[in-house]
Chains A and B, each alone.
Chain A
């Protein structure tokens, strides 16, 4: 079944721990994105990648890191440097190139205890 798979769906973290959120896609899309959503708010761009082995910072990259070693995968690490990490994290993909629609995963909810 084609699509985007985010895991885990729910994650709890103690302060000071790094956590990695997984995003895998089989849509053969070049571009992948990570967004953060806080309660009742819109989406803010953390990082994006338009091609394998390349990625750029979004609007709120501090405290996060990513890698893009494979076209299908774009994991996001929330580091201990992120001061307020509790949020809903959404991964999205797109064909890249000329702007077009994005396809979203079902999200990962991170709670810091």
Chain B
């Protein structure tokens, strides 16, 4: 069945270092979404990418959607302690797009 894989599972950085998480799908995706979950919290939507090769920025966060629409990445520049949490990518679970399939997430910890 369809799979969405994320690497790494965990990443620890010093404050100010950069961080990247990668998402790979076993199938071509019509779009991909990214969510962030703070420790003890619930997932919160960050962004959706739709076009092949699309790049979107939100302040220090840069999101990319691969040319083949099977992979994506999230890059954080100069991490801060507020970036701590688990970052999930998610793609449509079926052709109708009525549900999402989530990756297992990358948990980021930041030490100051």
Are A and B part of the same complex? no
Give chain B's interface residues, CB within 8 Å of chain A: none
Give chain A's interface residues, CB within 8 Å of chain B: none
